[in-house]
Chain A
Amino acid sequence: MKKTGAEILWECVVREGVEVVFGYPGGANMPIYDAMLSYPIHHVLVRHEQGGAHMADGYARASGKVGMAMGTSGPGATNLVTGIATAMMDSVPVVFVTGQVAAHLIGGDAFQEVDMTGITLPITKHNYLVTRADEIAEVVREAFYIARSGRPGPVLIDICKNAQVESCEFEYPENVKLPGYQPVDHSPKEALENAVKLIEKAQRPVILCGHGVLVSKAEEALMNFAVKTQTPVASTLLGLGAFPASHELSLGMMGMHGEVHTNLAIQNSDLILAFGMRFDDRVTGTLKTYAPHAKKIHVEIDPSEIHKNVAVDVPLVGDLKTVLTDLVPMVDEYDHEEWKKQINEWKSEADARSIMNWPDDGKLYVPHLIGDIWKATGGGAIVTTDVGQHQMWTAQYYAFDKPNRWLTSGGAGTMGFGLPSAIGAWFANKEQEVWAVAGDGGFQMTAAELTTAVQEGANVKVAIMNNSFLGMVRQWQEFFFEKRYSAVNMLSPDFVKLAEAHGVPARRVTKREEVDEAIAWARSIKGPTVIEFKVEMEDAVYPMVPAGAALDQMLQRPVKK
């Protein structure tokens, strides 16, 4: 049957299981928008393409499915770029479809012509420039397959306007032919045996649980491995939730703002089992002194991550779930009592400094607020954040017991991610409670999406942690630039009025005793709400490993006088 390129796009997209698309129309994608009306697609009209990109990203992270976002050519497409890079850095499967000028105009600086495949080459897993209608079916099939398989990532399809309107014979390609693309799934037996030999010898093993555990749906395999070998589990920022925070083997978060006992455990370990993580500089501190006594086993689907930052003793390339499932029956049971006892001692020393034990001094502290939200939501909400202090405090104090509830921009550290990703996550599961913990700075980067939330009736609860500062930058200036504050003092609009102008019910909270009631109020409303918390302006995130320091050189919270 003959169809237009635009129709073929939707025929294929619908077959990939896409139900919701986040986008923005313009001259170069009008045929795509026209054809969309005939297909069972819910389109969310965003207020800025970056917002759409983060929504598709949040949708993908929360649902485990491929997200989809669209923009027109030129500025519409370049507005997506930050969102594409964010998805790339965190290995999130999103297919981006942009309009492009007609093929015969390419290279002539036509109106709204921008070389999108050129621009996105380094920030996509793969990309396509489509100049003919008869390419579309295969390209879409490939794009979705590439986005979700192996190490997932964003794929961009740039479709020339002529390809959208021209017609051709449509036959759905059941298979794609990608001779150069073959993700590895399992590791050979000999490699696993080498790993077992190291595990047998270990006295002080630690598991480093990364985002790959969630991507590969290896939570259960990880649990089986950890429990059988009684190995404590430390998480990366993006790995939180893959192993229950409340489990006795859980060490919580590692790295720059990781917990003291966690970083000490890593530095003193004799075996590191790195599962689906990539030894980012934010989790290792300086590499010169990183885990100096530890042998290292690295399970990872992307071979280019092996030896990239940290040379390892046994690399196991493959799908984490498959590798762990193969490995569990090969290992013996251990108890590692002494090691766990040592870690617990470190933990109780550090706990004495915890801000959670501070008495109420009339000020609002973000860690307390996160604890309050955690309590009110039973620890079960999807929580998104912007980037900065509030992000780290949320990671530290919202103890995630379940997978795929914690959505944050880790690799890229993109401010403005919180609200739009929350809206996207709500589309993944409309019954699920969703909170966006925002910074006063980050919130203002994508605040326009409040109206999108209203238009869609998205039931997202925004908590703005307003410290009147670009807090994390201020903290660095305090610690490392002799408190010379430069461009961090931030005037904000009246967030309550701003929200109300968007039609969003809003409140301001300045005292601890108002907190529980405000949270309950927000939860009782169906639809978006905003609470602005006026928090302590100059609190700092602890512990902190200064950039370039060793992982166990942590600045700790001063003891409260």
Chain B
Amino acid sequence: MNYTFIALVENKPGVLNRVASLFRRRNFNIESLAVGRTENPEVSRMTVVVDCPNGDMDAHKIEANLYKLVNVIDVQDVTRQPSVTRDLALIKIKVGPEKRAEVNGLAEIFRAHIVDVAFDSVIVEITGTEDKIEGMIELLRPLGIVEMVRTGQVAMTRGLTDGVRRVQGVTGNRYEDVSEMAEMAP
């Protein structure tokens, strides 16, 4: 089963490499990984979707291992949390003028947009959950997809609730605390 984690990490060079290397080293299978800035310039946010064949046991392993990375500030599992997840895809379809209307119709149903029109192709932009995007791709496929790119999922819990934090003793470090994190005397 796929689990979705949100990790807050220090915005420093090489941190993405550390996370990716960890997943490879510990044999975790990444389904999707998206990284971006947050409202705090010192913090980046990763949404990682990982296949966890052993369920919560694997999720515990992933969280605990992420915390071993010195630059990882917080890890939440939002898999079963009410949350908004979004993926964005750009899909290029080989269609001439005669079939554009068909694409347009599909796009409307999925609330997607045509963002580029050329003589022999169009680019459709769609945002939504995995399922929705998969659904649209299936319908577009017969028309001739020539190129596709997806950002990977990003996620955010609804309301002010957090995800699950399994790792004992590690208290979740909320976003806003990070910049004024107590300095630790070694």
Contact = CB atoms under 8 A, between A and B. Distances in A.
A304 B25 CA distance: 14
Interface of A: 117-118, 121-122, 125-126, 129, 141, 144-146, 149, 174-182, 184, 187-188, 191, 302-304, 306-308, 311, 315, 317-318
B183 to A, nearest CB: 4
Nearest to B73: A180
22 contacts: A121-B17, A146-B70, A175-B184, A175-B185, A175-B186, A176-B183, A177-B181, A177-B183, A178-B70, A179-B181, A180-B69, A180-B71, A180-B73, A184-B168, A187-B168, A302-B68, A303-B67, A303-B169, A303-B170, A304-B68, A306-B168, A311-B57
A317 B166 CA distance: 12
Contacts of B72: 180
B165 to A, nearest CB: 11
A209 B178 CA distance: 37
Q: Which of A126, A178, A187, A311 has the most CB of B within 10 A?
A: A178
Given A145-B186, A308-B61, A303 B168 contact: yes
A304 B66 CA distance: 9
Contacts of B25: 122
A178 B61 CA distance: 22
Nearest to B179: A179
Given A180-B70, A304-B67, A122 B21 contact: yes
Contact of B168 (A117, A180, A181, A315): A315
A182 B70 contact: no
Contacts of B71: 180
Contacts of A315: 168
Contacts of B167: 303, 317
A317 B169 CA distance: 7
Nearest to A144: B186
A122 to B, nearest CB: 5
Main secondary structure of the interface of B (DSSP, over half): mixed
Given A179-B10, A180-B73, A174 B185 contact: yes
B64 A303 contact: yes
A177 B57 CA distance: 31
B166 to A, nearest CB: 9
A207 B56 CA distance: 28
Q: Which of B18, B65, B70 has the most CB of A within 10 A?
A: B70
Contacts of A129: 14
Interface string B1-43: 0000000011000100110010001000000000000000000
Contacts of B178: 179
- Interface size, B (range): 20 to 34
B60 interface: yes
A35 to B, nearest CB: 23
Contacts of B170: 182, 184, 303
Contacts of A304: 61, 64-65, 67-68
A175 B183 contact: yes
Contacts of A317: 167-169
Contact of B184 (A176, A187, A307): A176
Given A174-B185, A184-B169, A303-B168, 7 more contacts: A129-B14, A146-B70, A180-B73, A184-B168, A184-B170, A303-B167, A304-B68
Nearest to B181: A179
B151 interface: no
A117 B14 contact: yes
B81 interface: no
Given A307-B57, A307-B60, A176 B186 contact: yes
A306 B181 CA distance: 27
Of A178, A188, A304, A306, most B-chain CB atoms within 10 Å: A304
B169 A187 contact: yes
Contacts of A178: 70, 184
Nearest to A301: B169
Contacts of A180: 9-10, 67, 69-73
Nearest to B7: A180
Interface string B148-169: 0000000000000000000111
Contacts of A177: 181, 183-184
Identify which of B10, B21, B57, B186 gathers the most chain A CB atoms within 10 Å of its CB.
B186
B138 to A, nearest CB: 39
Contacts of A187: 168-169
B186 A306 contact: no
A186 B173 CA distance: 18
Nearest to B13: A129
Contact of A306 (B10, B64, B73, B183): B64
Contacts of A188: 168-169
A180 B25 CA distance: 20
Nearest to A148: B186
3 smallest A-B Cβ distances: which pairs?
Answer: A184-B169, A304-B64, A145-B186
Interface in B40-91: 57, 60-61, 64-65, 67-73
Nearest to B43: A179
A149 B184 CA distance: 12
Interface string B115-140: 00000000000000000000000000
B5 to A, nearest CB: 15
B83 to A, nearest CB: 23
Contacts of A118: 17
Contacts of B69: 180
Contact of A181 (B17, B60, B64, B70): B70
A493 to B, nearest CB: 39
A109 to B, nearest CB: 19
Given A303-B168, A304-B65, A121 B18 contact: yes
Given A122-B21, A191-B168, A179 B173 contact: yes
Contact of B60 (A126, A149, A191, A306): A306
The interface centre, meaning the residue of A126, A129, A303, A317 with most chain B CB atoms within 10 A of its CB, is A303
Nearest to B56: A307
Nearest to B57: A307
A163 to B, nearest CB: 15
Contacts of B18: 121
Nearest to A121: B21
A303 B62 CA distance: 11
> Which of B68, B178, B181, B183 gathers most chain A CB within 10 Å?
B68
Interface string B96-114: 0000000000000000000
Contacts of A176: 183-184, 186
A11 B178 CA distance: 30
Nearest to B65: A304
A18 to B, nearest CB: 14
